[in-house]
């Protein structure tokens, strides 16, 4: 990145790199969801503590009966509790249904 910045006179921050990666990931997820038949897909990218941001977004934008769908790494409930995994925290700190998949 330093070489690119020198040549192009353009400052690239770590946040820029993370945002670009986030956009790529959400674009790929949208393609998969639409391919599986999803009619409505909303992509949202925010920065902050993952579990706290997911819970905040759910409270502000979801309706009763909506669900949060998340991936997980398969650590299991006990390991997730010890390590504080995002999906484990969200599932236990929100009133919404949380569906996790590997």
Dihedral sign, Cα of residue 21, residue 67, residue 40, residue 60: negative
Tell me, what's the pLDDT at 98?
A: 92
Give the pLDDT confidence of 51-80 residue by residue, as tens digits. Answer: 999 999 999 999 998 999 887 765 555 655
Q: What are 19's strand-pairing partners?
A: none
Which pLDDT belongs to residue 8?
Answer: 67
Categorize the per-residue pLDDT at 11 as very low, low, confident or very high, splitting at 50, 70 and 90.
Answer: confident
Q: pTM for this structure?
A: 0.69
User: Tens of pLDDT along 12-44?
Assistant: 788 888 999 999 999 999 999 999 999 888 899
Cα–Cα distance between 53 and 58 in angstroms, integer? 8
Task: Answer with the residue of higher pLDDT: 84 or 71.
Answer: 71
User: How far apart are alpha carbons 21 and 13 in whole angstroms?
Assistant: 13
């Amino acid at each position: 990145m330093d070489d690119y910045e020198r040549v192009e006179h353009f400052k690239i921050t770590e946040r820029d790199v993370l945002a670009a990666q986030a956009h790529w990931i959400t674009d790929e997820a949208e393609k998969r969801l639409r391919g599986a038949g999803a009619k409505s897909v909303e992509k949202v990218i925010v920065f902050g503590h993952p579990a706290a941001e997911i819970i905040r977004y759910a409270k502000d934008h979801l309706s009763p009966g909506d669900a949060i769908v998340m991936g997980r790494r398969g650590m299991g409930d006990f390991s997730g509790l010890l390590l504080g995994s995002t999906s484990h925290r969200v599932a236990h700190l929100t009133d919404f249904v949380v569906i996790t998949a590997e």
